[in-house]
């Protein structure tokens, strides 16, 4: 699964990497984004504009918003079938912006897992494949929420965990953000692991285990 990630870039760099998309004029660097918190995403609503969504999908038909904490990830192998995700896969896809994510590695004989920070070798921001939806509360409020799609790990990630987030190539952004309904068969070729040779990982402090810790020291390599 993907349970924590970062977005430390500034709007200017984001606009440079994600050419053709519009971003908020400013947003705070985040070093420990956790489920149910705001994330920056670009929905396929035809506007090509990044906005903040809550991480944890609440399907529009859900009676209870607490379901969000259970739907932070969507397994790529079953998103075309699961009731919580199949509508979003067809109609409501998004890019979730990031520049790194965390995973925890188990070691034989060691009780505490070691957190690792995973990023691109060039340290540029990138995008997870996500799904989004709008939920209308009984009091008339509206929540826009999202989930990160996961898949089988590549060679690098398999040394840390048995899953990884789906990371999209820039050339595939337009197809993923197509605002017209898409059949699952026309999109499943994008649900795959990202090339390991473009990624890097290093161990970091267990300070990341606490969501309230959100500072630059979290991504610094440790022994």
- Outline where 166-216 has alpha helix (H): 173-176
Q: How far is CA 81 from the centre of its chain?
A: 20
Phi, psi of 102 (to 5 degrees): -110, 150
pLDDT class of 139 with cuts at 50, 70, 90: confident
Range of the domain at 31: 5-219
- Whether pLDDT at 119 is above 90: yes
pLDDT band at 89; cut points 50, 70, 90: very high
At residue 107, the pLDDT reads 84
Tell me what pLDDT residue 161 has.
95
Catalytic (active site) residue 2: yes
The average pLDDT across 186-215 equals 97
What span, in angstroms and rounded, lies between the C-alpha atoms of 132 and 135? 10
pLDDT of residue 102: 98
The residue-averaged pLDDT of 143-147 equals 97
Average pLDDT, integer, range 88-112: 94
The DSSP secondary-structure symbol of 220 reads S
* Model pLDDT for residues 27-56, shown as the tens digit of each residue: 999 999 999 999 999 999 999 999 999 999
- To 5 degrees, how large is the angle CA 156–CA 98–CA 76? 60
Instruction: Give the pTM.
Output: 0.97
User: Which of 15, 81, 94, 103 does the annotation list as catalytic?
Assistant: 103
How much is the pLDDT for 110? 83
User: Both tokens of residue 4?
Assistant: 């924590």
Question: Quick one: average pLDDT of 59-64?
Answer: 94
> What pLDDT score was predicted for residue 131?
98
CB contact at 8 A, 54 and 146: yes
The tally of domains found in the chain comes to: 1
What are φ and ψ of residue 186, in 5° steps?
Answer: -85, -10
Does residue 1 carry a pLDDT above 80?
Answer: no
What CATH code is carried by the domain that includes residue 64? Answer: 3.90.1680.10
Of the candidates 93, 97, 96, 98, the residue with the CA atom closest to the CA atom of residue 177 = 93
Length of the chain: 223
* pLDDT of the residue at 223: 82
The arithmetic mean of pLDDT across residues 138-148, rounded, is: 93
Contact yes or no for 158/103 (Cβ under 8 A): no
Model confidence band, residue 108 (pLDDT cutoffs 50, 70, 90):
confident
């Amino acid at each position: 699964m993907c349970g924590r990630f970062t977005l430390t870039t500034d709007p200017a760099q984001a606009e440079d990497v994600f050419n053709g998309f519009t971003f908020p004029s400013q947003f705070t660097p985040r070093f420990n984004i956790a489920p149910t918190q705001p994330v920056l995403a670009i929905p396929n609503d035809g506007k090509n504009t990044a906005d903040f969504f809550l991480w944890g999908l609440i399907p529009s038909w859900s009676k209870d918003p607490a379901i969000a904490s259970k739907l932070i990830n969507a397994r790529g192998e079953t998103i075309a079938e699961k009731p919580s995700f199949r509508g979003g896969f067809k109609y409501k896809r998004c890019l979730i912006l990031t520049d790194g994510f965390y995973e925890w590695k188990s070691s034989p004989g060691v009780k505490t897992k070691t957190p690792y920070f995973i990023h691109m070798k060039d340290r540029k921001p990138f995008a997870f494949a996500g799904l989004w939806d709008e939920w209308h509360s009984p009091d008339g409020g509206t929540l826009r929420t999202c989930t990160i799609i996961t898949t089988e790990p590549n060679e690098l990630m398999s040394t840390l965990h048995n899953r990884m987030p789906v990371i999209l190539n820039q050339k595939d952004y337009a197809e993923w953000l197509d605002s017209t309904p898409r059949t699952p068969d026309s999109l499943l070729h994008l649900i795959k692991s990202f090339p390991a040779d473009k990624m890097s990982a290093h161990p970091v402090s267990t300070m990341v285990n606490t969501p309230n810790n959100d500072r630059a020291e979290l991504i610094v390599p440790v022994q």
